[in-house]
């Protein structure tokens, strides 16, 4: 069975993806800042599924974090068959008012580290002529997002990048999937300070588990773009036929605080 490396595996969709993979009998390398949470999950998965789990505590927004993780897996002689770039975060508010260091951290994590991980592990996959990569984007990837400008832009990058790389390696036995969940019960909203936005306040959101099961299945099937939820898919695709200025206004209305 394949070994999967999952970033941001200490909670939310990443944690649920780890459970899904372990339930199939696959070994894991789990990466996140919170090593205590990772080790709790390691103990749970190893006991329940008799799989091997290796944990790496790392701030993935730091420079060269991806290279350090890659070198650690090499040192441990762990072959990564599935790379799941799930780690990422958002920030809510007017761009001009937001803390710059947090925006830079977001760009480093959501874009730079994800791209570096892909570059490193893809080379090994190409040599073996097998492997799967899943990059967690978002339905935010399909339009710009006032009040979360940098986050939406980073996810547009993830989608565009994933589609291009999937095309480049399609003849090499490798697939790249961009998973695009909508708003999800995952702790993301609290971290991004957006619990009061019209997008999430009072809404029944899909669980991280439902998104993880859907995404994992899409990755195994080699689906290039996987949008979770029927309405999310309709909305994401309808953007192409709507004037861009109108899409931005609608997104702003959804993101603003619910009254």
At residue 187, the pLDDT reads 60
Q: Which tokens in the block code for residue 205?
A: 């959101």
Host domain of residue 176: 4-255
In three-state secondary structure terms, 209 is helix
At residue 228, the pLDDT reads 86
Catalytic residue, chosen from 49, 70, 82, 151, is 151
**Cβ-contact 140, 228 below 8 angstroms:** no
Taking the model in full, what pTM does it have? Answer: 0.88
Catalytic site residue 151?
yes
**Cβ-contact 74, 123 below 8 angstroms:** no
Q: Give which of 111, 208, 210 is closest to 162, Cα–Cα.
A: 111
**Phi, psi angles (nearest 5°) of residue 227:** -100, 120
Distance (Å) of CA 26 to CA 18, 154, 196, 247: 9, 30, 39, 42
CATH number for position 214: 3.40.50.720
DSSP string for 231-249? HHHHHHHHGGGS-HHHHHH
The total number of structural domains in the chain stands at 1
Q: Mean pLDDT of successive 10-residue segments in the chain (259 residues)?
A: 97 97 98 97 98 98 97 98 97 96 98 98 98 96 92 97 98 97 69 53 78 97 90 69 74 65
In three-state secondary structure terms, 54 is strand
3-state secondary structure 144-206: CCCCCHHHHHHHHHHHHHHHHHHHHHCCCCEEEEEEECCCCECCHHHHCCCCCECCCCCCCCC
At residue 259, the pLDDT reads 42
Question: CA-CA-CA-CA torsion for 219, 124, 107, 252, nearest 10 degrees?
Answer: -20
Does an H or E element contain 82, and which? strand 82-85
Q: Give which of 91, 243, 67, 65 is closest to 155, Cα–Cα.
A: 91
């Amino acid at each position: 069975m394949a070994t999967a490396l999952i970033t941001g595996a200490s909670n939310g969709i990443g944690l649920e993806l780890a459970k899904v993979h372990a339930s199939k009998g696959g070994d894991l390398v789990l990466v996140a800042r919170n090593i205590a949470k990772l080790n709790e999950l390691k103990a749970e998965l190893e006991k329940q599924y008799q799989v091997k789990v290796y944990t790496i505590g790392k701030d993935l927004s730091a420079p060269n974090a991806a290279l350090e993780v890659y070198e650690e897996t090499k040192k441990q002689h762990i072959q990564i068959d599935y790379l799941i770039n799930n780690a990422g975060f958002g920030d809510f508010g007017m761009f001009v008012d937001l803390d710059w260091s947090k925006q830079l951290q977001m760009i480093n994590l959501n874009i730079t580290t994800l791209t570096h991980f892909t570059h490193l592990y893809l080379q090994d996959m190409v040599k073996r002529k097998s492997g799967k990569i899943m990059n967690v984007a978002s339905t935010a990837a399909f339009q710009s997002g006032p009040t979360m400008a940098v986050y939406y832009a980073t996810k547009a990058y993830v989608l565009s990048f994933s589609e291009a790389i999937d095309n480049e390696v399609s003849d090499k036995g490798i697939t790249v999937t961009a998973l695009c969940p909508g708003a999800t019960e995952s702790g993301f909203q609290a971290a991004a300070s957006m619990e009061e936005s019209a997008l999430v306040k009072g809404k029944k959101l899909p669980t991280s588990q439902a998104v993880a099961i859907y995404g994992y299945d899409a990755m195994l099937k080699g689906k290039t773009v996987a949008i979770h939820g029927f309405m999310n898919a309709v909305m994401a695709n309808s953007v192409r036929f709507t004037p861009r200025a109108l899409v931005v206004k609608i997104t702003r209305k959804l993101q603003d605080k619910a009254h």
